[in-house]
Amino acid sequence: MTIAIAIHGGAGTLRRQEMTPEKDRQMREGLSAALEAGHRVLREGGTSLDAVIASVTSMEDNPLFNAGKGAVFTLDGTIELEAAVMDGASRDAGTVTGVTVARNPVRLARRVMEATPHVTLGFSAADAFARKEGLECVSPDYYYTERRWQALQEEKARIAAGGTEADVPEDRKHGTIGAVALDERGRLAAATSTGGRTAKWPGRVGDTAIIGAGTWADETCAVSCTGHGEMFIRAAAAHDVAARMAYLGQTLREASDAVVLQTLVGLGGTGGMIAVDAKGNVAMPLNCEGMYRGMVDGQGTRMIAIYGDE
């Protein structure tokens, strides 16, 4: 029985010259823990959906990643979280946006999928649903980290000084987390979660919460994206991988490379994605300096990486 899983902790890594050995070690340990959490579910015969939830929950609870506990701040200094899940076998999906109370937005997205007639809930309605479902809810100070607060102050100063998009440091442009998996029954699933972008406008909805843009799973492949969300939305990036495989006969690698290295580059969009197909092949293309990522593919090959040349 073939099983496979891939995870990402966000594109737009710290530049090598800014990455200390201690920070490098912490990031790789965080990725390893998330990868193992999901892979363990698969090894024990669990579903791909349970596996991706396990991996993403691990990263949501880790302040190093831009989701859950480590989420970035909006321009107003508030937190607005997004998450999505999709079951490839049924194409059932659930997403949330503008979440302010759920400790694990990815679990809330799953409840939207399983317990409502809708795909997406947002803002106060999503918060109310989290409480109604008895999910663990937290106060705003749970999400506060000094590192993210200082990043907001620096970004506001940059904007006030007339800085352009080209001036934005890579690690502030994007920082979504996600996981994709194939279980022993041949079912695919994807999950994605994010705090968005540092100094985003309050009320902004990114690609994570839009099925087909930042998240997709069907019988062909499962995809989770991280990058400049507006461009991923305009490219329908996650779904385009599946479409290229279905209609053009491209392989997973050919399709994902075409989206990340051609379509997104043509739009000026930076970032990357992780994808797995029904045979356990994994692709993790990126068009920026790095993407926190890891995988165990269908052949059992395990990898943890940060930079593009790894």
* Catalytic (active-site) positions: 176
HEC profile for the chain? CCCEEEEEEEECCCCHHHCCHHHHHHHHHHHHHHHHHHHHHHHCCCCHHHHHHHHHHHHHCCCCCCCHHHCCCECCCCCCEEEEEEECCCCEEEEEEEECCECCHHHHHHHHHHHCCCCEEEHHHHHHHHHHCCCCECCHHHHCCHHHHHHHHHHHHHHHCCCCHHHCCHHHHCCCEEEEEECCCCCEEEEEEECCCCCECCCCCCHHHCECCCEEECCCEEEEEEECHHHHHHHCHHHHHHHHHHHHCCCHHHHHHHHHHHHHHHHCCCEEEEEEECCCCEECCECCCEEEEEEECCCCCEEEEEECCC
